[in-house]
Structures are given as C-alpha cells and as structure tokens.
Structure 1
Amino acid sequence: MDKANYGFLPDDDLSDSQIYVTTQTYNRYAKEYAERWEWNQRTIQEIKKYNIKPFTKQVKKNGKVLLVSCQSGRDYFLLSQMGYSCLGVGFAYGLLTEAIKRVPNGLFVRLKLKSLPFMPESFDAVYADALTDVPKKDIKVLLRDFRIFLKPAGVLYLSLLLGKANVMMMNDLGGKRYMTLYRKTEILEIVKSADFDILWSETSLNTDPSLPKWFSLVAKKK
C-alpha cells in the first residue's frame, strides 16, 4: 500500500472523534471495504487458516457463537456454513447492511460494543476478529464482558493488530479509519488478566503485507 494512505499517530489511544470518523467511513464505503479487505479469495484462505480452523478445533459443532464486530459478515458466513448458530453484532450501519446483502439469512444486530446486553453464560464461544475499533482503555472491560457471556469453559477467539505505536490511520477507501495497535506481550497480559487460559496463538501477515501483522489467539474461560 502507498505510504500516503496510512500512517502511525503519536496518540496514546483512540479518541471518540476518531471512532466516529471510522464509523462514517465504514457506513459510506462498506461495499468497497468488503470487496477489498474481506471477501477476496486470498483473504478468505488466510482467514480459514488463522481464524476459522483454530477456533473450530476448540468449539463444539452446532455451538452458539457471538461474533463481535462482525463487519460485512464473511466469518459469520463461514461459521454458519459449518453448522454453528451465529449472532453477529457490529457498530457500523453500512457494514451490517452489507452483511445482510451477502448473508441473507444471517442474524445481525447493531450495538455499541461498550454496552452489549447479553445474559450470563449464553454463548459457547465469542469470536472477535480484527477488534481494532475499541480504545485500549475499554478492552479489558470488554473482555470481562465476553467472559460473563460465555458458558463454563467457553472459548474466545481474538485478533488484534501489532505495532510499536498505539494508533494507526488508514485512508484507502475514500475516508479515514483509525485503528488500535498493541504489543504482543500487552495482548497476552490483557487476556490473562480477564481470566482466560490461552490455548493457541499465532502471528500472521496482513492482507497487504506492508501493513502491521495480526496477532490471533484462542483462549478458554477459566
């Protein structure tokens, strides 16, 4: 990717205004995002290797899965095709509209991630891929919420972007997007502090190799 289309900021964390701008970009350019970053065959093959395969090894077939920040429905589609009962939640109306177009029988709900309304022990697994739109100050509380929603020994899949900075800006779709970056040790510490045992983890290239790598993990509720 042309370096003019992304950059690393000195900010300590995502701001409310950056989250708002990101949401508006997804609303306006959902189709372009879906085609470029989610539904192309190269990305799907990588997702099957680094997301779906390690996740489904730990989650019983026909299990109830909450997909947090489900984007345009790609992973919802893949998991539902394998027999899982899925519920997708997201914050951007445009992406959810795109998800409904691409997965017509899917169940998608627009919710703020800071106030998810689910009952305790109501899911076998939480699947949170590319959770880049949550400020660092909120991530621990969100993971603790995930733990509450999970049944005993429930499974969490989580992937986050790696980087030395805390915030990255991208301007590849026609509008700006802002994303949180983490250090690997930071992610492991956060997950363990939320009372999860890490079962598997892996670092993988971004769809565009010039961009920061992903760090993915599967963990179990203690």
Structure 2
Amino acid sequence: MHDDYLSGTIDAYDRNPLRYEEATGAMTPVAELDAFLALLPDPAARVLDVGCAFGRDTALLAERGLRAEGVDLSAGFLERARQLHPELAFGRMDARSLDFPDRTFGGVWCQATLLHLRDEDVAAAFAEFLRVLVPGGALFASFKEGEGEEELVERFSSDGARFYRYQTVPRVTTMLQDAGYRVAAVDRSNEFERFGPGYRDLTWIHAYAVKPAVD
C-alpha cells in the first residue's frame, strides 16, 4: 500500500541507497535514542524501526539491549541493511499498514520517515503505530520543520526528487494527541549547529509520545 505521490521518493532511494548512507551515516541520534529508551516500558523491549533505511538506527537500538527489527518501503535500503546487519530482521512494509498483530512492540522508532507523507497519511501511520504498541509503549518520530509540501531534489543525500511535507511543533503535537497518544515532549534541533560543516542549516522536530496504559 503506497500512493503515487510516494513512488518517486521510493525510486530515488532505490536507485542510490549508498548516497543516502554516505550523507547521513554519521548523524547518530544519541540524545534522541537515550530519551526514547527512557520512555520504554521495558529496557529489553521489542522495538520496531519504521523507515529503517540502511539499518543504522536498528543496530543502535539493538546495541542498547533492545530486541530491534526494521521495516522500510525501499528494497534497495533493505538489501543494504541486511548486508550491514545480517543478525537483525528487516522487512518491506508501509508505515500505514504494518503486518504485525496488535500490541506487539514496546516501542516504535521512526526517524526522518513520516516527513515523506501528507498529513492524512501521517495520521494513518500514527494510528497504526498505536495499534502495534503495547499499553505504555513509546513512540519517537522526527520531521523537518517548516510549512507546506513539495517535491524536490535535495542533493545532500539523493540525486532523485523526493516528496516532503514540512511540519511545526503545534501541528505534530495536535496530530499525536488526536491519534490518542500522551505527548511526552516535542523539541527542535538545528542540524548544522549539531553536526557542523557539511551539514544543512535546517531544523528538525523530535516528537516523543506514549500509548496510554489503558486503551
């Protein structure tokens, strides 16, 4: 299940997954991983990395003692993830339609993935994440800050055109609340200030939320 507006984005990743890996591989989200782990109901929880790309964050989650597995819509990314991390499980799935039973995961990690979805599809993904989370389970999701949507070639990490939907802190907060989450925090960080020369002057939104203990 994916819509025509996403096909170009998936193709861009499939054509050159190594380009994206080379551009983003060193952007380790240490602070975000630590904050996410602090929200989990179990320090050895089963967690799902949605939009896992080449598996960097899936492996980082596993290194922290979690039972991590990854899913993505890009076959090229999944092939690379399996090459780099043969000990971990990866599958091809849409964030809006996950092939897992209800209450499977203690956490869902979704880094720089939902920014490729329109608002109604972000809402669908949030609902699906809520379904597969156990009561008390935690969600992390990140977005690029801004307004509107566009399809463009962002040469930092790809030569292909990709679709982007930009978000604001209030909009992300409202979407999470509307989906039934308790919002733990929504913060912002500037990529250039954090990682230095060679990176972009753009602001990322980091959202942390929890599924209510009774659903």
Confirm or deny a common fold (TM above 0.5).
Answer: yes
Moved more, 84-93 or 194-203: 194-203
Moved more, 171-180 or 83-92: 171-180
Fraction of identical pairs, as percent: 23
TM-score (norm: length of structure 2): 0.87
2:118 aligns with one of 135, 153, 159: 135
Give the number of equivalent residue pairs.
Answer: 201
**Greater relative contact order structure (CA < 8 Å, 6+ sep):** 1
- SS of equivalent to 2:115: coil
1:189 aligns with one of 148, 155, 174: 174
Q: Structure 1, unaligned stretches of length 5 or more?
A: 1-14
- SS of equivalent to 1:114: coil
Partner of 2:204: 214
Q: 2:116 and 2:169 mapped to 1: Cα distance?
A: 17
Alpha-carbon contact 1:123-1:149 (below 8 Å) kept: yes
Alpha-carbon contact 1:54-1:200 (below 8 Å) kept: no
TM-score (norm: length of structure 1): 0.85
Q: CA deviation at 1:154?
A: 0.9
Letter in 2 for 1:76: T
Letter in 1 for 2:200: P
Say whether 1:31 aligns with 2:18: yes
Alpha-carbon contact 1:27-1:92 (below 8 Å) kept: yes
Deviations 1:36-86 (A, max 9, x none): 12x12xx12xx112x211101112211010111111111001110111001
Aligned in 2, Cα 1:94/1:175: closer, same or farther, shift over 3 Å?
Answer: same
Deviations 1:22-45 (A, max 9, x none): 1111001101111112x12xx12x
- SS of equivalent to 2:9: helix
Say whether 1:153 aligns with 2:140: no
Letter in 1 for 2:80: E
Q: 1:220 and 1:114 mapped to 2: Cα distance?
A: 18
Q: CA deviation at 1:168?
A: 5.1
- SS of equivalent to 2:116: coil
Moved more, 128-137 or 191-200: 128-137
Q: Structure 2, unaligned stretches of length 5 or more?
A: 193-198
CA RMSD in angstroms, aligned pairs only: 1.6
Partner of 2:195: none
2:7 aligns with one of 8, 20, 41: 20
Q: Where do 1:1-222 residues align within 5 Å?
A: 16-37=3-24, 39-40=25-26, 43-44=27-28, 47-49=29-31, 51-59=32-40, 60-130=42-112, 131-167=114-150, 169-172=152-155, 173-206=158-191, 208-210=199-201, 212-222=202-212
